[in-house]
Chains A and B, each alone.
Chain A
Amino acid sequence: EAGVAQSPRYKIIEKRQSVAFWCNPISGHATLYWYQQILGQGPKLLIQFQNNGVVDDSQLPKDRFSAERLKGVDSTLKIQPAKLEDSAVYLCASSQEREGSNEQFFGPGTRLTVL
């Protein structure tokens, strides 16, 4: 079974530029998560999709971040314009649809550096 795929693995941009990340979850996983992980901290949920609907985006900075999951499969996270403090690893995870039991499987992540 293929795992969660993410691309690109690394990205370096200058502040005020835009960037997009792509994620393809494990086949059959209805729930998809985007996390931001800053060095030394735990993953912080940005947005959670169930199929193609948003379950939680309370911590997504909506003035600059956007995400979509068309057709309930793969997803794209965009930052526009980027700030220095957006430098982090962006993790995508997926899980089966099961309330109270969210065993999540993570992709390799995208390391973003904003200069």
Chain B
Amino acid sequence: QKEVEQNSGPLSVPEGAIASLNCTYSDRGSQSFFWYRQYSGKSPELIMSIYSNGDKEDGRFTAQLNKASQYVSLLIRDSQPSDSATYLCAVTGGFKTIFGAGTRLFVKA
């Protein structure tokens, strides 16, 4: 059974701080890794994708991938109250994608 694990949270950080969200996966053959943001009552929205080891930065977001440790993370710099949402990690191997249960993030003003 292929799995994607995330801490359910909630993760609470003050405004302006760095939020660090983590995800581990079980399938060593996984090729692609995604972070989706889901606001309450809304559908998931793709915010980051990463395919190779290392860091990928996009604005305030940085995705980090370590395939040897089967670990992917998302850093949000200068966190804003509008970043408060559930962050879903998704992992793809071949044509199959598995989503984690998500981590709830609260950014306190």
Min C-beta distance of B36 to chain A, whole Å: 8
Please measure, in the bound complex, the distance between the C-alpha atom of A43 and the C-alpha atom of B92, giving whole angstroms: 14
Number of interface residues of A (CB under 8 A): 26
B46 within 8 A of A: yes
A104 within 8 A of B: yes
Within 8 A of A (CB), among B9-68: 31-32, 34, 42-46, 49, 51
On whether the beta carbons of B43 and A102 are closer than 8 Å, the reply is no
Q: Does the CB pair B45–A100 fall under 8 Å?
A: no
Which residues of B in the span 51-109 have a Cβ within 8 Å of any Cβ on A? 51, 88, 90, 92-102
Instruction: Determine the distance from Cα of A36 to Cα of B57 in the docked complex, in whole angstroms.
Output: 31
The answer to whether A106 touches B32 (Cβ under 8 A) is no
Q: Is the CB of B44 within 8 A of A91?
A: yes
Q: Which residue on chain B has the smallest CB distance to residue A31? A: B95
Chain A, range 74-115, C-beta contacts under 8 Å to B:
89, 91, 99-109
